[in-house]
Amino acid sequence: MSSTTSNMLKVAVIGGEGIGPEVTAEAQRVLRWFAEKRAAPVTLREAQYGVVPYLASGHVMPPATVEAIEEADAILFGATGGPETKEVPPEARKAASLLKLRQKYDLYANLRPIVAAPALVEAAPLKPSVLEGVDFIILRELTGGIYFGEPRGIETLPDGRRRGFNTEVYTTDKIQRVARTAFELARKRRGKVCSVDKANVLEASVLWREEVIALHKAEFADVELSHMYVDNAAMQIVRAPAQFDVMVTGNIFGDILSDCAAMCAGSLGMLPSASLGPVDRFGKRKALFEPVHGSAPDIAGKGIANPLGSILSVAMMLRLSLDRPQDAALLEKAVDTALSKGARTADIAEKGARILTTSAMGDAVIDALNALA
């Protein structure tokens, strides 16, 4: 392998299901723009995932996709999920699920930045005064908690009633490593961490809080640490979101709170994310970049989804996997420029605004990149 090739970031591009392929196509165009116009060292390999390959080959995640993911340094993912079809039995879906992927590559640190773009303040559901200065990150632990805890299942009791059960579980190591990521992130930002839990009710949260406090005391006393119960956090996110810098929380709380926080950005379609694995002995870490939203079956196939969450996930890739902060900032500026010139998909449109298709929004970002570069 030549040194040029080995310096290349291998990216697996997987649109997936629902609006996933639609938004990922625009993000991929943007990534190619950086490869062509700014010499970003990436090689792209497209792969299939979901109901389409299942119907063609019986695999939700065909072997070529498994291979593309395995060899990739970074994965650009669209979305998974959709109306249950009889053709895809739950076991086949489960065996190749996004949760399994997160677990396999230990992608524990899920960064979800929430920024209120000034151009969208009028279109957002929250008041402009509430949105002023909103710029925070929800750091969601992604490999533990109730989504993975055992025992789990649905059973029939002797009296005929059925019982569904799951287990919220966290061990010290999983809490410590995500808390460490939060403190390190905060040091590069405004120096504030808010840890969100439900320690008034759940033992797993009591341990969470104890471990966060212990790590803070031992290594990160320079960072300001606060704690919030998850129900209050949901309220504070819509009441006064500018108070947050880095919010660290467990898997299920982060899942729910980030959809809520999307209202600060104007739409769920605006939010990008990065899921990072542990740093290996070469200093590299596997990473998956995807918009926060799901497959949005209600709008899939219509070409109207907002691709900016996916496009901004490319900015996160440029910053975190390619170490190209200037390119990341250029892309974020291009998105802001497109928005301030009035580019709107339906989900972020003010009354009377001209509404763009998914690909026209991609065009608007590329036009802005060409103008800014």
- Identify whether 86 is a catalytic site residue: no
Least distance from C-beta 101 to ligand NAD, angstroms?
10
Residue 16 or 144 having the CB closest to ligand NAD? 16
Q: Rounded to whole angstroms, how far apart are CA atoms 222 and 201?
A: 29
Residue 111 or 199 having the CB closest to ligand NAD? 111
Q: Please tell me whether residue 293 binds ligand NAD under the rule CB under 6 A.
A: yes
Residue whose token pair is 């999920």: 81
Q: Please tell me whether residue 81 binds ligand NAD under the rule CB under 6 A.
A: yes
Least distance from C-beta 288 to ligand NAD, angstroms?
10
Do 246 and 194 meet the contact criterion of CB atoms below 8 Å apart? yes
- Identify whether 231 is a catalytic site residue: yes
Q: Please tell me whether residue 90 binds ligand NAD under the rule CB under 6 A.
A: no
Helix and strand counts by DSSP (H, E) for the chain:
14, 12
Residue 90 or 283 having the CB closest to ligand NAD? 90
The stretch among 135-143, 195-203, 244-252, 295-303 that binds ligand NAD (CB under 6 A) is: 295-303
Q: Please tell me whether residue 237 binds ligand NAD under the rule CB under 6 A.
A: no
Residue whose token pair is 């119960």: 229
- Identify whether 54 is a catalytic site residue: no
Q: Please tell me whether residue 107 binds ligand NAD under the rule CB under 6 A.
A: no
Identify the three-state secondary structure at position 282: coil
Q: Please tell me whether residue 79 binds ligand NAD under the rule CB under 6 A.
A: yes
Query: Site for ligand NAD (CB under 6 A): which residue of 91, 150, 280, 298?
Result: 298
Please give the residues from 13 up to 42 whose contact with ligand NAD meets the rule CB under 6 A: 19, 23
Q: Please tell me whether residue 309 binds ligand NAD under the rule CB under 6 A.
A: yes
Do 32 and 314 meet the contact criterion of CB atoms below 8 Å apart? no
In the structure encoding, which two tokens stand for residue 312, read together? 């901004």
Alpha-helical (H) ranges within the chain are 3-6, 20-37, 51-57, 63-71, 90-95, 98-104, 128-131, 172-187, 203-219, 230-239, 251-265, 308-320, 325-340, 358-372
CA atoms within a 13 Å half-sphere pointing along the CA-CB vector of 254 = 30
Least distance from C-beta 130 to ligand NAD, angstroms?
21
Least distance from C-beta 89 to ligand NAD, angstroms?
15
- Identify whether 170 is a catalytic site residue: no
Query: Site for ligand NAD (CB under 6 A): which residue of 347, 356, 362, 368?
Result: 347
Query: Site for ligand NAD (CB under 6 A): which residue of 296, 317, 349, 369?
Result: 296
Q: Rounded to whole angstroms, how far apart are CA atoms 106 and 208?
A: 19
- Identify whether 259 is a catalytic site residue: yes
Q: How far is CA 252 from CA 152, 166, 170, 176, in A?
A: 15, 12, 12, 17
Identify the three-state secondary structure at position 343: coil
Sign of CA pseudo-dihedral 259, 263, 265, 267? positive
Q: Please tell me whether residue 305 binds ligand NAD under the rule CB under 6 A.
A: yes
Least distance from C-beta 41 to ligand NAD, angstroms?
27
Least distance from C-beta 78 to ligand NAD, angstroms?
7
CA 113 to chain centre: 8
Q: What is the dihedral of CA 26, 74, 78, 353, to 10 degrees?
A: -40
Q: Please tell me whether residue 82 binds ligand NAD under the rule CB under 6 A.
A: yes
Binding region for ligand NAD (CB under 6 A)? 19, 23, 79-82, 98, 267-269, 290, 293-299, 305-306, 309, 347
What residues are annotated to the active site? 147, 198, 231, 255, 259
